Amino acid sequence: MKTSKKMTNLQIAELLRDVAAAYQLKDANKYKFQVIAYQRAADSVEHATSELQDLWEEKKLDDVPGLGKSLQEHLDEIFRTGKSKHFEELTKDIPKMVFELMKIPGIGVKTSMKLVKELKIKNLDELKRAISESKVAKLEGFGVDSQERISKALKEYEKKAPARMLLPYASQIASKILEWLKEDKNIEIMNTLGSLRRQVSTIGDIDFAVASKDPNYSLTHFTKYPKATRILEKGDRTASILLAGNIRVDLMAGKKESYGSLLQHFTGGKNHNVALREYALKKGLSLSDYGIYTKPGDKKSLKEISTEEEFYKFLNMDWIPPELRENSGEIEASLEHKLPKLVELQDIKGDFHIHSDFDIETSHDLGSSSMVDLVKKAIDLNYEYIAFSEHNPSKNKHNENEIIDLLKKKKDTIDKLNYSIVKDMKIRGFKVFNSLEIDILPDGKLPVPPEGMNTLDFALVSIHSSFGQPREDMTNRVLEALDNPKVKIFAHPTARKLNERNGVDLDWKKIFAKCKEKDIWLEINADPARLDLPDILVHEAVKKGIKLVIDTDTHYIDSMDNMKWGVSVARRGWCEKSDIINTRSLKDLEVMI
């Protein structure tokens, strides 16, 4: 039996976290490891590439790490009946508000329970009133400072959690702060850390590490950053400030001798570090941001590590590029010396997704730069080829013959442009391909007649409407489009827009199989607001031997510089040069198209 409403992974993760909190309230000590298990399961569910309920239907919950026999039984009950007796039993005596308050940063399960129980708080307004009447400060274990901290956290929470920053935006803020840090002459080395160093597509906090001759001075210098609106913390080792827009920035300071450990520790990701430390423990080593203890528990056995290379080498591992540090197989690969040699920006030799201003009366936005300018820019970037992939001519405004005429006109123009590049610009070995970005209509048809398709060297297809179709319809829609013989690239495949719209619901197994069968290339769209295909799916595709392309989807010439963000996604998805088609030379490529 199917339950009427499908539970999303996010909802399941939240439920698992609530259960973890319930165990903590029941007896934090006794259920210590259940708490960890449930939290780990929640993390794992949140990061799964498939919807859990689909995996359950396919009896593949075993594929999700952290879900053992017991949790699978509870989930099975939830998917069948809509609830779990065990979970309900655990949470039945806990007011809903306890779980609500826990969403406020700085309020954990204990604090939340105490506020709700002792002050009888039923909503956020009542919490505000309790604060204004100074009732929180009077609670045992609380004080005026705690009350103030909670008050501030509540206000920031109510402003609505800031959306996660896009990668280029966070990078830009980071580079300004690095400039500020450079003014402190005690600082010998500095790095960005955390998700920014790992080049995650969206960034929450911005983190830095420095090696300093005087860490305390450097931390103070950091807190004096002119754009800081508030100092959140300042200790001997770390400090945190807040910038406008609730952007949290952390600095970790240490000395040069142990900088490798510091850098490694705070680069994370969390799951990578946890797995690494568990592995180290089995080898009789304890890892921390200070170094490696060769006798766990004995502080004197500390070996300081100055570089990350040395850190990993101490564990008989190869240095792992930060982009891979997510505990998705990199530790095992490193131990076996089988890490991929990741693709780099310099490997890129072309861009297949560029919108020029050549007007073919498109269905969506036209580019705003001329073909000639875009070609010149491509040559500056040392590319050997680009493809102009404007949107298809709009279907409601033209009949088939008009569409064909527009496309013939475009083909002529590009033929002449290629001639002119050799003849007038005196450039050899550069080619402009004639392509088109074609809407996949809701029924899977393409709005370009065969004669129009024949004017093209190849076509990209992508979804621009009916994003909410059910999985099966959406999948069939895409599969049909990919069957068109001119289609070579599936562009921004999930159609997500970061912070704006989730990706469409596709059966990736079927999409991957079709790509493999038809030699379709999946696009990694380098537009910072898209970064689509997402890194996790890129990794899945690479494991299946599917080829990808990295494109900028340029509508204005400067966007051609966005290629690096697409490369960061490819790297996070374990792509080597050979996985990415537009690292091929023009000569190699022409054989394929």
- Annotate 396-451 with three-state secondary structure: CCCCHHHHHHHHHHHHHHHHHHHHHHHHCCCCCCCEEEECCEEECCCCCCCCCCHH
CB of 292 to DNA, least distance (A): 10
CB of 16 to DNA, least distance (A): 10
Nearer Cβ to DNA (216/394): 216
CA distances from 488 to 479, 516, 531 (A): 13, 12, 19
Nearer Cβ to DNA (2/69): 69
CB of 584 to DNA, least distance (A): 34
CB of 130 to DNA, least distance (A): 14
Structure tokens given for 521: 């290339």
CB of 193 to DNA, least distance (A): 9
The answer to whether 503 and 534 have CB atoms below 8 angstroms apart is yes
The answer to whether 482 and 518 have CB atoms below 8 angstroms apart is yes
Cis amide leading into 533 (omega within 30): yes
Nearer Cβ to DNA (229/578): 229
Phi, psi dihedrals of residue 121, rounded to the nearest 5°: -80, 130
CB of 63 to DNA, least distance (A): 10
Q: 178-196 burial, b for 16+ CB within 10 Å, e for fewer? A: eeebeebeebeebbbbbbb
Concatenate the DSSP letters of all residues of 141-206 into one string: T--HHHHHHHHHHHHHHHT-PPPPEEHHHHHHHHHHHHHHHHT-TTEEEEEE-HHHHTT-SEESSE
CB of 288 to DNA, least distance (A): 3
302-303 β-sheet, strand order: 286-288, 291-293, 302-303
Secondary structure of residue 135 in the 3-state scheme = helix
Nearer Cβ to DNA (266/490): 266
Nearer Cβ to DNA (274/379): 274
Nearer Cβ to DNA (142/385): 142
Nearer Cβ to DNA (233/412): 233
The answer to whether 296 and 286 have CB atoms below 8 angstroms apart is yes
Nearer Cβ to DNA (151/413): 151
CB of 10 to DNA, least distance (A): 17
Binding site for DNA (CB under 7 A): 28, 33-34, 36-38, 40-41, 65-72, 86, 104-112, 137, 140-149, 194, 205, 207, 233-239, 248, 268, 270, 273-274, 277-278, 280-284, 286-290, 293, 296, 332, 335-336
Separation between Cα atoms, residue 528 and residue 562, nearest integer Å? 7
Residue 428: other Cβ atoms inside 10 A? 7
Nearer Cβ to DNA (43/351): 43
Nearer Cβ to DNA (336/451): 336
Structure tokens given for 440: 């996949």
Query: What is the DSSP code (8-state) at residue 49?
Result: S
The answer to whether 320 and 308 have CB atoms below 8 angstroms apart is no
CB of 469 to DNA, least distance (A): 33
Quote the longest CA-to-CA distance of the chain.
Answer: 84
Nearer Cβ to DNA (215/447): 215
Nearer Cβ to DNA (45/580): 45
Structure tokens given for 104: 């406020």
Secondary structure of residue 524 in the 3-state scheme = strand
CB of 301 to DNA, least distance (A): 11
With CA atoms as reference, report the closest residue to 412 among 350, 375, 360, 450.
360
Nearer Cβ to DNA (5/337): 337
Separation between Cα atoms, residue 116 and residue 99, nearest integer Å? 10
CB of 274 to DNA, least distance (A): 5
Q: Dump strand ranges (E) for 256-389.
A: 286-288, 291-293, 302-303, 350-354, 385-388
Query: Which residue type, as a one-letter code, is found at position 77?
Result: E
The answer to whether 21 and 109 have CB atoms below 8 angstroms apart is yes
493-499-505 Cα angle (round to 5) = 35
